[in-house]
Amino acid sequence: MIRFENVSFSYGKEPVLRDVSFHVKPGETVVVLGISGSGKSTILKLIAGLVQPDSGRVLINGHEMTTASEDEWSRVRPKIGFVFQGGALFDSMTVGENIGFTLIEHTDKTMDEIEVTVRETLRFLNLSEDLIDILPDSLSGGMQRRVSIGRAVAAVDPMIMLYDEPTTGLDPISTEAITELILKLQSVKGVSSIVVTHQITDAFEVTNHFIVLHDGVMVFDGPGEKLVQVQDERVQSFLAPFMQSVKNIPAVCPEE
């Protein structure tokens, strides 16, 4: 589904990713872990075509997207749902307009048809339909993230979902709601997902395939059981603060 082959990327002279390679299978969820500034979000931007790698290849469904034209990207992008850190909801539009945004922009559906889809999506998100005419500023952080997920899934059934720090800064109840939503999308719609986070306890709730980045270098790619046992100093230093809560991980890991 998604394949990175020796991808390197830099912002100006500052290297962000160095020779990163990994593979995400169809329907699989992968969590990318790492401290801030390790290049996690850049992986998502490369998949969505928001930035282009300096070297290496990014393949989606076997098609190389590194050299794709804007037309090819415009066909692929509607199939990719991107949940930005902080939501990135359009603050001048209502919740309904945000969720229906891609339907309004990319389809010929009438406003009545779009409203039906928006209401279905709100129910899917476990949000009240009364929120449809409310501006995003009036919502809590957790609700904004859920609406952001709704905006990503409402248009067409996405084949890839990209989550950039979806639970950062949220209270435990909102975090649980977002985690449930990620799992629900995975099981109901069968999408391939990449979740970027530095909150390892939440990460074990959604998958058992982990990638760890350190200074733009991929230092681990494998299952959760191996992650907690790996001897690499860079992985251990990242895991150390979380080890106390990670003790019970094998019990919560989804079965492979």
Partner 1 sequence: MNLLSIIKRFAYDLQGLTFYSFRLFGKILSRPMYLMETFEQMYFLGVGSLFLVVLTGVFAGQGMALQFSIELADFGSKNYLGRVMVIAITRELGPVLCGLMVAARVAAGITAEIGSMKSSEQIEALRAFGIDPIRKLAVPRFWALMVMLPVLTIVTDFVAIYGGYIIAVYIANISGAVYWTNVTAKLTLGNFIIGLSKPFIFAAIIAIISTYMGFSTVGGTRGVGRSTTESVVACSISILFINFLFTRLLVPQIQGLL
Interface with partner 1 by CB under 8 A: which residues?
45, 48, 50, 73-74, 77-78, 80, 82, 84-86, 88-91, 101-102, 105-106, 151, 155
| Cβ neighbours, 10 Å, residue 217 | 16
Q: Nearest-CA neighbor of 49 among 25, 20, 78, 27?
A: 78
Q: Which is nearer to partner 1, 17 or 47 (CB)?
A: 47
Whole-number minimum distance, CB 221 to partner 1, in Å?
25
Measured on CA atoms in the order 185, 186, 187, 189, is the torsion positive or negative?
positive
Q: Other CB atoms closer than 10 Å to residue 115's CB: what's the count?
A: 17
| Cα–Cα dist 145/208, whole Å | 23
Give whole-number Cα distances, 91 to 61, 115, 145, 211, 217, in Å: 33, 19, 13, 33, 36
Which of 105/112 has CB closer to partner 1? 105
**Minimum separation from the CB atom of position 165 to partner 1 (A):** 11
The least distance separating partner 1 from the CB of residue 10, rounded to whole angstroms, comes to 17
Select 84 or 124, whichever has its Cβ closest to partner 1. 84
Distance, in Å, from the CA atom of 144 to the CA atom of 136, rounded to the nearest integer, reads: 7
Q: Which is nearer to partner 1, 89 or 249 (CB)?
A: 89
Q: Which residue, 91 or 233, is less far from partner 1 as judged by CB? A: 91
Pick 27 or 78: Cβ nearer partner 1: 78
* CB 88 to partner 1: min, Å: 4
User: Minimal distance in Å, beta carbon 147 to partner 1?
Assistant: 12
Encode 116-177 in three state secondary structure.
HHHHHHHHHCCCCHHHHHCCHHHCCHHHHHHHHHHHHHHCCCCCEEEEECCCCCCCHHHHHH
Closest CA to 159 of 192, 124, 119, 199: 192
How far, CA to CA in Å, does 128 sit from each of 122, 123, 139, 159, 245? 7, 7, 12, 26, 33
Report in angstroms how near the CB of residue 1 gets to partner 1 at its nearest.
Answer: 18
Question: Taking the complex as a whole, how short is the minimal distance between the CB of residue 116 and partner 1, in angstroms?
Answer: 20
Residue closer to partner 1 by CB (options 82, 124) is: 82
Q: Are 207 and 253 in contact (CB under 8 A)?
A: no
182, two tokens: 């990620």
